[in-house]
Amino acid sequence: MALAFLFAAEGPGSADILTTLGSEPGRQLFDVTVASGIVAVVLYVVAASWLFLELRPINELAMLIVLALSVVIAPTTVAFLAFQYVPVAVAQEHQSTAEPAFRQLVVSAHAFADVGGWTVVALLAVSVLIVSAVLWQAGRRSVLALVGFALFFTALLLFILDSSYLFLLLFGLWEIGMAAALMIWPREWRAT
What average pLDDT does range 99-126 have in this prediction? 91
> What was the pLDDT predicted at 7?
54
Whole-number Cα distances in Å, 87 to 34, 56, 96, 104, 109: 12, 42, 11, 10, 7
The C-alpha atoms of residue 143 and residue 125 are separated, in whole angstroms, by 17
CA–centroid distance for 149 within its chain: 18
- Number of Cβ within 10 Å of residue 160's Cβ equals 9
Whole-number Cα distances in Å, 120 to 21, 95, 113, 175: 25, 31, 10, 15
Q: Give the E-state strand segments of 12-77 in sequence order.
A: none
Residues 6 or more apart from 192 whose CB is under 8 A from it?
57, 58, 138, 139
- Number of Cβ within 10 Å of residue 103's Cβ equals 14
The C-alpha atoms of residue 174 and residue 47 are separated, in whole angstroms, by 12
What average pLDDT does range 136-153 have in this prediction? 87
Radius of gyration of the chain (CA): 19
Q: How confident is the model at residue 41 (pLDDT cuts 50, 70, 90)?
A: very high
Euclidean distance between the first and final Cα of the chain, in Å?
A: 36
Residues of the chain with pLDDT > 90, as a percent, come to 43
The C-alpha atoms of residue 124 and residue 59 are separated, in whole angstroms, by 18
User: Does residue 2 contact residue 29 with C-beta atoms inside 8 Å?
Assistant: no
pTM: 0.85
Q: In 3-state terms, what secondary structure has residue 163?
A: coil
Q: How confident is the model at residue 27 (pLDDT cuts 50, 70, 90)?
A: confident
Question: Which amino acid makes up residue 95?
Answer: Q
> What was the pLDDT predicted at 5?
56
